[in-house]
Amino acid sequence: MRTKLPLLAGIVLAGALALYGSTQIWVTLSLTTGAAAFSSVVATGHQLNQALSPIAIAVLAAALALTIAGQAFRRVLGVLVALLGAAVVAIAAAVWADPVAATGSRLAEVTGISGGDEFDLVTSSTTSPFIVLTIIAGSVLCVLGVLVLIIGSRWKQAGRRYDSGAASRVAGVATEPDRISDWEAMNDGVDPSADDAREDSQ
């Protein structure tokens, strides 16, 4: 149980970092002077791959579901978190490996040139630290997802610890003497204590 809160907090934090990183500028391309209306083109992580934000949001939703999930569903969510983290890493790593190619659609959109000619306008490219931040966040999600898969079954299910207490209270209420019935019996001329004495003797 002690591992539950740290793991959930880690998943939420890593998911939030991935979401934040996707909204920041990842790549800046410098263009040939006079060849286009712009001297540079910038692209955020979300502009380069629109799946990033939904993936990060899905991670946060999985963390919320883990707070109430049963043992079997926790394993499923653990695998899901690990896969979502791997997807984040794959997307960010692809941009980091070849930022110019990854920015092709964004470059064509801004310059109005396509068919591969848009790459001739690029003189240099710069990547931001937010790509690395997103890769780290995705890697952490992979590790945390595997940990949930391995040790998540040991967590107590939410609400189960209250079951025994509730059952005890119900049992206590059920065993309390019915005073209204006793008064009704006395009005009918019957002594309820006599019945209790007979039951005790048996």
The residue extents of the domains of the chain are 4-158, 162-201
Contact 28, 40 (CB under 8 A): yes
Q: pTM of the full predicted structure?
A: 0.73
60 has pLDDT over 90: yes
96 has pLDDT over 50: yes
Calculate mean pLDDT across residues 24-30. 93
**C-alpha to C-alpha distance for 7 and 155, rounded to whole angstroms:** 11
Q: Which residues of 67-106 are buried (b: 16+ CB within 10 A; e: fewer)?
A: eebeeeebbebbebbbebbebbbebbeebbeebeebbbeb
pLDDT for the residue 188 = 63
pLDDT tens by residue, 168-184: 454 454 445 555 666 56
pLDDT for the residue 86 = 98
For every residue of the chain, which 3-state class applies, written as one string?
CCCHHHHHHHHHHHHHHHHHHHCCEEEEEEECCCCCCCCEEEEEHHHHCCCHHHHHHHHHHHHHHHCCCCHHHHHHHHHHHHHHHHHHHHHHHHHHHCHHHHCHHHHHHHHCCCCCHHHHHEEEEEECHHHHHHHHHHHHHHHHHHHHHHHHHHCCCCCHHHHHHHHHHHHHHHHCCCHHHHHHHHHCCCCHHHHHHHHHHC
Calculate mean pLDDT across residues 8-32. 94
63 has pLDDT over 50: yes
Q: Of the ranges 17-26, 34-43, 132-141, which one carries the lowest mean pLDDT score?
A: 34-43
pLDDT for the residue 162 = 45
pLDDT tens by residue, 104-117: 888 888 778 778 87
